[in-house]
Amino acid sequence: MLTNNQNVLKWVDEMVALCKPDQVVWIDGSEAQLNELRAQATETKEMIPLNQEKLPGCYLHRTDPTDVARVEDRTFICTRKEEDAGPINNWCDPKEMYAKLTPMYDGVMKGRTMYVIPYSMGPIGSPLAKVGVELTDSIYVVLNMDIMTRMGKDAFENLGETSNDFVRGLHSKADIDPEKRYIVHFPEDNTIWSINSGYGGNVLLGKKCFALRIASYQGKNEGWMAEHMLILGIENPQGEVKYISAAFPSACGKTNLAMLIPPEVYKKAGYKVWTVGDDIAWLKPGEDGRLYAINPENGFFGVAPGTNAKSNFNALESTKKNTIFTNVAHNMDDNTVWWEGLDKNPPENAIDWKGNPWNGKESTEKGAHPNSRFTAPAVNCPCISPEFNNPQGVPISAMIFGGRRAKTAPLVYQSFDWNHGVFVGSTMASETTAAATGAVGVVRRDPMAMRPFCGYHMGDYFAHWIEMGEKLGDKAPKIFNVNWFRTDDEGHFIWPGFGDNMRVLMWILDRCENKVDAVETPIGYEPKPEDINIEGLDIDLDTVKGLLDVDKDLWREEAAGIEEFYQQFGDRLPEELSNQLKALKERLG
């Protein structure tokens, strides 16, 4: 036992009685215990050790081919009242869901070991951190949770001996049956149940399940925010660092921005970029009234395909040691890994993600699954922030929303004030790309990039944002919107993107410090074209003007789309947001 907390012990006993494992192992987080588990997983071929000279401490794992991604249609929010889950979440009555799942867990771990994983989301001892306990029958889960969280006996420090404030996570691989796969959240009970999956996003319960779905609900009740946001710091040549948090839907370059490498013009001048987090931010007002953020995670759970030295050097470097690769190709010539987009030399003697022999030069099949992953320790990242483990978090100057829009949204604009910023975030959208199934160019609204991750009614979530603005007053971060994806008439991207996005971030920080003026448009404040630094780029001032163009006709269409989107929230939509929409329409004339 690693704790005397009776709330923890009683719950673990109840779950042991339900799942009936042959043995129970408490995970203390020690290297000796982890090495023993790695050896066991290697023996059963659950994990394959890779070339220890080229990739020290790295392993390969394959999931069942039916179990390769988060399953939104099998993910439920079970609140006692259906309306509290809202129109965007799948809902089921908690009593009904417990009744359905309890027989599935009954005896599910016979012949298996139950691992008890205590973990902290956020630095141990941080006033912003929270404790979870996950029970699982998967060594893969234990080893991934070791990378993704602060796992082990120290996690109980924040809980103490009497508190009941911990998230109860129960996971079993069961039979990996897709028809009986459930990822279920009971926000009012601080509980997550996951069954019949072995894939990361469904089974690493500290990740989206706790850090966003449960935490967003906790944040609403406790006066803080859990957001699907990266956190980065920009250090100027004088050594001052300003922090930005940013939310983007998938396929919009979020990890890339989090680990941005400054373009030459800034590098030479002595600017640096620091990564605090690539995916999730927990934000809370500090003693000075400003908004502070921590990254509750301790690692990166990144998509492998497309990650290479050019697209994201720092992410690739992060995977060079103590990393678990899932569903990538296994290069048998030197016992390393490969995925599409890593380089132009696919291995000829390899095993694909399904475990079949694969010749990359000849096969039409992909070697790695499109959603294959790496789980890498954040400490490996060359630009990890010195403040990464700061228990107080970092103060946020600006918040950014963004999506993938071919024509509508300009390169960058600033909201008129906090509530207008909440409006901008709540109406965030991306156009579908060829990567997604279905029609290309369809607008999918993804408020604050939280559509799949909000643990309660989205209308109440917007209201919570507005309340936070009232609480922060004039100390609130400034809110911006960016769009790196404007295209010309041939469909080519106009803005260079990648590291050059820093040029836009610099304007944003200048605005936060009132160092630069802006132009008022119907949608918000925009830069004067000459205030975006294009030194060293092969685009001119006219191109920047084009990137900042606001087409009123397109925006009238946008307003109609927003109105339709808002209708689903009924009377739970804050009146402030209806007023913001009305004001936008008036400004568009």
DSSP 48-66: EE--TTTSTT-EEE---TT
Label residue 473 left, alpha or beta by phi (over 0 means left) and psi (-120 to 50 means alpha).
left
Q: Residue 249 and residue 254: Cα distance in Å, rounded?
A: 8
Residue 488 counted as an annotated binding residue? no
Amino acid letter, residue 489: D
Tell me phi and psi for residue 54, to 5 degrees: -85, -35
Residue 254 counted as an annotated binding residue? yes
Residue 61 counted as an annotated binding residue? no
Which segments of 321-428 are extended strands (E)? Answer: 324-326, 329-331, 336-338, 350-351, 357-358, 373-377, 394-402, 412-414
Residue 499 counted as an annotated binding residue? yes
Residue 556 counted as an annotated binding residue? no
- The residue assigned the tokens 């339900």 is 18
Helix (H) or strand (E) holding 293: strand 291-294
Residue 253 counted as an annotated binding residue? yes
Question: Among candidates 318, 338, 315, which has minimal Cα distance to 328?
Answer: 338
Q: Helix, strand, or coil here: 257?
A: helix
Q: Could you tell me which residues come within 8 angstroms of residue 260 by beta carbon, excluding any fewer than 6 positions away?
A: 232, 273, 498, 499, 501, 502, 505
Alpha helices in 200-249 (DSSP H): 200-203, 215-222
Tell me phi and psi for residue 490, to 5 degrees: -90, 0
Residue 498 counted as an annotated binding residue? yes
Q: Could you tell me which residues come within 8 angstroms of residue 23 by beta carbon, excluding any fewer than 6 positions away?
A: 113, 114
Residue 221 counted as an annotated binding residue? no
Amino acid letter, residue 559: A
Contacts 24+ apart (CB under 8 A), 341-349: 341/305, 341/306, 341/307, 341/308, 341/311, 342/304, 342/307, 342/308, 343/308
Q: Which of 19, 58, 78, 252 is catalytic?
A: 252
DSSP3 helix / strand / coil % (the chain, rounded to 5): 35, 25, 45
299, 206 in Cβ contact below 8 A?
Answer: no
Residue 198 counted as an annotated binding residue? no
214, 192 in Cβ contact below 8 A?
Answer: yes
Residue 95 counted as an annotated binding residue? no
| Three-point CA angle 301, 188, 568, nearest 5° | 80
Residue 561 counted as an annotated binding residue? no
Question: Among candidates 143, 116, 112, which has minimal Cα distance to 28?
Answer: 116
Residue 201 counted as an annotated binding residue? yes
Residue 208 counted as an annotated binding residue? yes
Does the CA dihedral 251-257-260-265 come out positive or negative? positive
Residue 78 counted as an annotated binding residue? no
Residue 20 counted as an annotated binding residue? no
Residue 371 counted as an annotated binding residue? yes
Residue 202 counted as an annotated binding residue? no
Q: Helix, strand, or coil here: 551?
A: coil
Q: Could you tell me which residues come within 8 angstroms of residue 168 by beta carbon, excluding any fewer than 6 positions away?
A: 11, 132, 133, 189, 190, 191, 192
252 is catalytic: yes
Cβ-count burial 508-533 (b if 16+ within 10 Å, e if not): bbebbeeeeebeebbbbbbbebebbb
CA 415 from chain center: how many Å?
Answer: 24
Residue 311 counted as an annotated binding residue? no
Binding site feature residues for GTP = 251-256, 373, 404, 498-501
Binding region for substrate: 70, 199-201, 250, 371-373
List binding-site positions for Mn(2+).
208, 228, 279
Binding site, by residue number, is 70, 199-201, 208, 228, 250-256, 279, 371-373, 404, 498-501
Q: Which residues are annotated as catalytic?
A: 252
